[in-house]
């Protein structure tokens, strides 16, 4: 897909570990590049709830073939930032049903294995 050059300037930026307060809830920003360069997840630590957006979907990871997407970055984001959360953390993915980190750990590298091997991608995980 050719989207051409797109330049958008944000009104404000969120950084890794920033805190967002909504009522009495405190969300921690987790920078998770991969689906897009500026991708984030929002973690409600007190409730062990993660809103992953399109970083991960149920049973797989988000697309990386869009502008600023990176397969290597999304796998690194998932393994280094999401899989280290408590196993009973509930994940609300960008698409489909909710699940927890423990289940995600069991499924993450089983899915799309043939696609990875076909691409010849080697990841040092």
Higher pLDDT, 3 or 124: 3
Reading phi first (left if > 0) and then psi (alpha if -120 to 50, else beta), residue 120 is in left
- Rounded to whole angstroms, how far apart are CA atoms 37 and 35? 7
Question: What average pLDDT does the segment 108-113 reach?
Answer: 49
Q: Determine, yes or no, domain membership for 10.
A: no
Range of the domain at 44: 19-119
Q: Determine, yes or no, domain membership for 13.
A: no
Helical (H) or strand (E) element with 105: helix 101-107
Q: Determine, yes or no, domain membership for 110.
A: yes
User: How many domains are there within the chain?
Assistant: 1
What does the pLDDT look like over 43-66, one tens digit per residue? 999 999 999 988 987 777 888 888
Which tokens is 15 given?
A: 């950084």
Q: Determine, yes or no, domain membership for 56.
A: yes
What does the pLDDT look like over 80-99, one tens digit per residue? 999 899 988 888 888 777 66
Pick from 37, 122, 125, 123: which is nearest to 84 by CA? 125
CATH at residue 64: 3.60.15.10
Q: Determine, yes or no, domain membership for 111.
A: yes
pLDDT of residue 123: 42
Query: Any idea which of 91-95, 100-104, 110-114 has the lowest mean pLDDT?
Result: 110-114
pLDDT of residue 94: 81
What does the pLDDT look like over 18-49, one tens digit per residue? 999 999 999 999 999 999 898 999 999 999 99
Instruction: Give CA 105 to chain center in angstroms.
Output: 13
């Amino acid at each position: 897909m050719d989207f051409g050059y797109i330049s958008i300037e944000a009104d404000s930026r969120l950084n890794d570990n920033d805190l967002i307060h909504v009522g009495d809830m405190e969300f921690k920003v987790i920078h998770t590049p991969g689906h897009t360069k500026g991708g984030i997840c929002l973690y409600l630590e007190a409730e062990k709830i993660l809103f992953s957006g399109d970083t991960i979907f149920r049973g797989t990871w988000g697309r990386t073939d869009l502008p600023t997407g990176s397969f290597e970055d999304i796998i690194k984001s998932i393994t280094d930032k999401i899989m280290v959360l408590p196993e009973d953390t509930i994940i609300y993915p960008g698409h489909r049903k909710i699940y927890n980190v423990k289940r995600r750990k069991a499924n993450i590298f089983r899915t799309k294995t043939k696609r990875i091997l076909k691409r010849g991608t080697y990841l040092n995980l």
